[in-house]
Structure formats: C-alpha cells, structure tokens
Amino acid sequence: MLEIDALRVQLDADAGLVKAIDGLHLALSRGETFALVGESGCGKSMTALALMRLLPENGRYASGTVRLDGQDLLSLPEGRMRGVRGGRIGMIFQEPSTSLNPVMRVGDQIVEAIEAHTALRGPAARAKAIDWLARVGIPEPERRIDDYPFRLSGGQKQRVMIAIALAAEPDYLIADEPTTALDVTIQAQILDLIRDLQRERQLGVLLITHDLAVVSGMAHRVALMYAGQIIEVAPAAEFFAQPRHPYARLLLQALPGTARRGEPLAAIAGTVPPLWLSFAGCRFWPRCDKAMGHCASTPPALTEEAPGHEVRCLLYSQPGDALPRPPVVPKAQPQAPAGQGAPLLEVRDLRVRFKLKAPWLYRGPRHFDAVDGISFALPAGRTLALVGESGCGKTTSGKAIVQLLRRQAQVSGQALFDGKDLLRLQGDALQQARRHVQIIFQDPFASLNPRMRVAEVLEEGLVVLRPELDAGQRQARLHELVDQVGLRRDALQRWPHEFSGGQRQRIAIARALAVQPRLIVCDEPTSALDVSVQAQILNLLRDLQREQGLAYLFITHNIGVVEYIADDIAVMQAGRILERGSCDEVLTRPRECFTKTLLAAVPRLGVPRR
C-alpha cells in the first residue's frame, strides 16, 4: 500500500510561505484506481511530486510521512529512492513536451527505462520498447522508435511518456492528467491499456485529472482537493450520485454537454485562494453558495458521513443558518443570431503540403498532405467545431487560415474573410486582418513569452492593432480582460511561469480577446482548464458571441464541449472532411463509421467502470 499521512509541504515564494499541501491523508492499494480531482493550484500535482520526492528547489516537507509497503520514502537514501522512482512507482507527467528529452530519440528514452528497471538489455530491450510503442497506439512503431520528440504530435508524445512509465512495469502508477492532450479514441485506448495492466499486474493507479467523465469511468475512489486539503473522499459511484460538499455539487453542475445547450453553465464565483494566506475558517467560504456565518471563523474537519465517505464541511458537523448570499445568476443570454447570410469565413479547397526530408535513394513520396482539400463556410455568430483524432489536420487547418504556416508549408486554396483571401494577404493588409482574426493556441506553456509580464503580453496586441487607445484606456481594457477570464488583477504584474496551466490558458484567451476580433480560431482552448474555469470560459465565449456576433472555428477533441457550444460540426480524418452537418444531426445520427467510433469512445459521466 502507498500511504500518505498528515503530509504538509511548504514552498518559499516571493509572496511568502506557500502551504501547498496542508495535512493530507491518502492510501492507495494495489489494483485500485484512486482519483484526485480539483481546480488548478489546489495541490494535486504537488501531491504527486511529493510522493516521488521530486519537490521543487524551494519546497520542503514540513511534516508527515509517505510510506510504500510500510517503508518510509522520505527517509530513504537518494540512491535507493531512484530505484523506487520509475521502478516501483511510475509517473506520467502532465506536460509531454517538457518531460521528454528533446535531444534523445524516443526509443532510447524507453530503452533507458527498461534497462534501468528490468533485466532486459540491448536488442531485447529495443524489441520491448517497440512492443510498448505499439501497445500505446503509436503507428509504425518500428520506424517511429528512431524519431526525436519534435517529430511527434502532442498526443503521440504523451503516448511515449506513458510507454516510458509503464515499460519499467511499476507496482504503482501516478498519472497526472495522462489523457488531457489526447483525442477521445486514443484516450479510450490508453485508459483501456491502464485498466488491462491494472488487472494483469495489480497496478495501483493514482489518477490526477480534471476530467470528471474519465474519473467516473476509471476510479474506484475519488478525493476532491481544494486549497491544499482534501475536502471530500468517497467511492466513485457515490461521489457522482450524491456529492456532499457544496464545491463538489457546483463542479458537477459546471460540466458542459447536450443537456445544457443553449443555457449558461453554472459558474463558481471567484478563484482558488492563494496558499500563502492564513485561513481562519473554511477555505471555500468566499465562493460557497451554502456558507453560514460561522464558516468564516471555524475550520471544518474531515468527518465521515457514510461508510468510506468523508466530507470537510460544517453543514454536516455544525449546521446553522445560511448567509443571505445572492446566488450566482448567470447573465441572461440574448437570442443567438440565426447565422444566415453571407459567411464571414469561407474556406475553399484548402490544402497544406509539407515537404518530407528523405534519404537520396528513397523513391517514395517527398511530400505529405496534412490538409487535403477541405471546404466550409462559417457565418458570423456561429461556431463550427472541427473534430477528429490527433494528426488529422485540424490544427494545421486553423494555423493555415491565420497564415502561420507560410514558411513551413505550401498552402493553396482560399480562405475568404470579408471578401479578402486571408491566405494571400501581406504586410499592412495582413496586420489589419489580424485585428479581426485571432487564434487561441492549444499549449499555454509555449504560447506565452516567458520574458514578458502578463500586462505586457496583453498590451502588445492593443498597441499594435488598436493604436487609437491611449494609455489610460489600455489600462482599463487590461482590467476588463483579466476580470472577464476570471483572473485576479494582481496577475497583470506577474510572469507567465508563476501561473498554472489553466491560468496561463486564461491569459492566452484574454490576449486573443484584447483586440476585439470577429473570428477566433480556438485550438483546444479549454483542454488545459478545470471544469469550473472551463465553464467560465465557455460562458464567456458564448456571451461574446451573442453580444458581438463573434464566429468561432473551434478545434477540439472534447465532445462534451462540442455538444455544448457548436452549431455545426465537421469531422476530419486524414486531412479531409468526412462528415459535416448541424451539431444535432452529426451527434445523434452520424452517418460515417469513423464518426460513430469517435462518439462511442467519449467517456460519459455515470457510465460505470468496466
């Protein structure tokens, strides 16, 4: 058993002492999947790092123990701990692009793990590495084993990370957002693989994720974290059927899907408090819709409300009168525009061709058509979702439309915006068009300049594309933007590295909104976000659309989000649009087998663990 007892982890930060984990108890058995869920910044990933003794340099264990089969890991010499890390406990990190060694072939990285922790060596280890690449769904594993990470898509890199973690055949696996970057079919494959290994090898899995549907299909038990503490822990079925903590209830109401189409999602007011604060009472008090007078001064303890179901809330241990708090009433939404008339964006026969570097004797094709003649129209005020597996050309299409591939690829066809072909614009005309067409990138880590403060990141576009604004107006716009995306105003003076992935994505969204565009290419804009922030962002995108008639080309693999936000869907496979139609039509009556498979792979809340 892997056990954490009364663990406290603190970090020295400029703002003060951050109590990242504050008195955590947790036990994971072999063969069990225990899910840790909660918003960014609540301590989930820090718990994983603390388990592996991988705290950042400014971190320390203030108290508590971590035991693996009775052995105290915190007092183990580093040499022996290295055998535990990777050998007994494998870990899949959240961010594959920074976790793989960029100058090492992926095969060598898997072989390294196999040779370090198993008896296999040389060709046998390489054969095993190929086998693992095949098991995690990498096509042509014999060829891809010699690729460097930069040649793989985000989803493929994550699969390699999973192969490295599993190749050492660990007893426990810590999976920190293991499938966030993957499309649903690969996600289903990876989750099945983890389940199979769990059965085969009695693997204990600590699953850290913000995807509650994945948790519902995978976990035996669920713990909800908030501000460094566990606030509810329960068997998974019970957690989803009868959540007890007010925060848990709000989170489940914030999930998008068909049932909530056309209505605003329940948003949770405010943000997770910074953990350098001292808390007198309940940490959720400022955001709680059930708060009572004494909640602000009495810290609730974790109490057992049913067998195996513990809750940290005074509603159960010291009930009282609810404070008269105005409920969070989502803004009434104006009627959606009908979306008739001339399209705002019309894409005709778009093709994107990349040159392939090939050895001189190679006789095969010397190019690769990532996008192979797609056409669609997008009227103002509508959302078109481009869905499909990783590598099918969704992101490439989005980038080609905003002219981000000019130097790398040969782009042909037309992308008519307001009658002008975006693919042919240059100089001032291109700059003017960028005022109206913005993009939100998938990877919030790579899309922000690490040397610019948030205020500079947001102001840069305003200075260039909205020169009519003076300094005071720009400042007011910055405040409006951070409020809109749910960040605190002090965020403006901070650096991107000080934020979590979800917070960085909100900064990226604010940057796109800053110049008040008419069309936004949204490339997986909410895949790095928590459910509550995702609800805020989706509400925000819908409000902006209805107020200003914004059009979205929404590239995503999250079918729940598509069901909620999209008017039309285009399903892509191998660079082509396979099926296109209204959201209802495609989701309820898909014609193509591929679409049916894609929809069948979507994890759903309430579908129990297999």
Residues at the contact surface with ligand SF4, assessed by CB under 6 A = 246, 282, 284-285, 288, 290-292, 295, 300, 313-315
CA distance 108 to 125: 10
Minimum CB distance to ligand SF4, residue 21 (Å): 19
Pick the closer one to ligand SF4 by CB: 139 or 319: 319
Pick the closer one to ligand SF4 by CB: 254 or 370: 254
DSSP 3-state assignment of 504? helix
Minimum CB distance to ligand SF4, residue 315 (Å): 5
Nearest one of 357, 421, 369, 417 to 397, comparing CA atoms: 369
Pick the closer one to ligand SF4 by CB: 19 or 434: 19
Minimum CB distance to ligand SF4, residue 310 (Å): 13
Provide the 8-state DSSP code for 309. E
Q: How far is the CA of 528 from the CAs of 299, 418, 603, 607, in angstroms?
A: 31, 32, 17, 23
Residue 451 in contact with residue 424, Cβ under 8 Å?
no
Pick the closer one to ligand SF4 by CB: 183 or 232: 232
Question: What's the distance, Cα to Cα, between the start and end of the chain in Å?
Answer: 23
Q: How far is the CA of 7 from the CAs of 4, 62, 67, 220, 571, in angstroms?
A: 6, 8, 11, 23, 47
Residue with tokens 């209204």: 582
22's enclosing H/E stretch is strand 16-28
Across the strands, what pairs with 36? 208, 223
Pick the closer one to ligand SF4 by CB: 244 or 511: 244
Alpha helices (H) in 338-470, listed in sequence order: 394-401, 427-436, 454-465
Tokens of 13: 């930060």
Pick the closer one to ligand SF4 by CB: 291 or 384: 291
Minimum CB distance to ligand SF4, residue 47 (Å): 21
Minimum CB distance to ligand SF4, residue 37 (Å): 16
Pick the closer one to ligand SF4 by CB: 239 or 285: 285
Pick the closer one to ligand SF4 by CB: 107 or 246: 246
Pick the closer one to ligand SF4 by CB: 300 or 575: 300
Minimum CB distance to ligand SF4, residue 314 (Å): 4
Give buried/exposed letters for 53-64 (b at 16+ CB in 10 A, else e): bebeeebebeeb
Minimum CB distance to ligand SF4, residue 114 (Å): 47
Minimum CB distance to ligand SF4, residue 228 (Å): 15
Minimum CB distance to ligand SF4, residue 484 (Å): 26
Residues 6+ apart with CB under 8 A from 244: 232, 234, 305, 309, 311, 313, 316
Minimum CB distance to ligand SF4, residue 20 (Å): 20
CA distance 176 to 165: 12
- In 69-181, the DSSP E strands lie at 71-72, 89-92, 172-176
DSSP 3-state assignment of 89? strand
Provide the 8-state DSSP code for 292. B
Across the strands, what pairs with 230? 225
Q: How far is the CA of 515 from the CAs of 95, 99, 506, 551, in angstroms?
A: 29, 34, 15, 15
Residues 6+ apart with CB under 8 A from 149: 97, 100, 101, 102, 106, 157, 160
Minimum CB distance to ligand SF4, residue 221 (Å): 21
Minimum CB distance to ligand SF4, residue 260 (Å): 24
Tokens of 469: 């604004």
Pick the closer one to ligand SF4 by CB: 268 or 454: 268
Q: Please report, as a single letter, which amino acid is at residue 289.
A: D
Pick the closer one to ligand SF4 by CB: 300 or 388: 300
Nearest one of 171, 243, 207, 190 to 34, comparing CA atoms: 207
Across the strands, what pairs with 339? none
Across the strands, what pairs with 352? 371, 411
CA distance 424 to 414: 8
Minimum CB distance to ligand SF4, residue 219 (Å): 22
Minimum CB distance to ligand SF4, residue 317 (Å): 9
Across the strands, what pairs with 385? 554, 569
Pick the closer one to ligand SF4 by CB: 249 or 353: 249
CA distance 199 to 544: 47
Pick the closer one to ligand SF4 by CB: 507 or 531: 531
Minimum CB distance to ligand SF4, residue 269 (Å): 12
Residue 574 in contact with residue 372, Cβ under 8 Å?
yes
Tokens of 554: 């929404």
Helix/strand/coil percentages in the chain, nearest 5: 40, 25, 40
Pick the closer one to ligand SF4 by CB: 282 or 448: 282
Pick the closer one to ligand SF4 by CB: 292 or 583: 292
Residues 6+ apart with CB under 8 A from 357: none
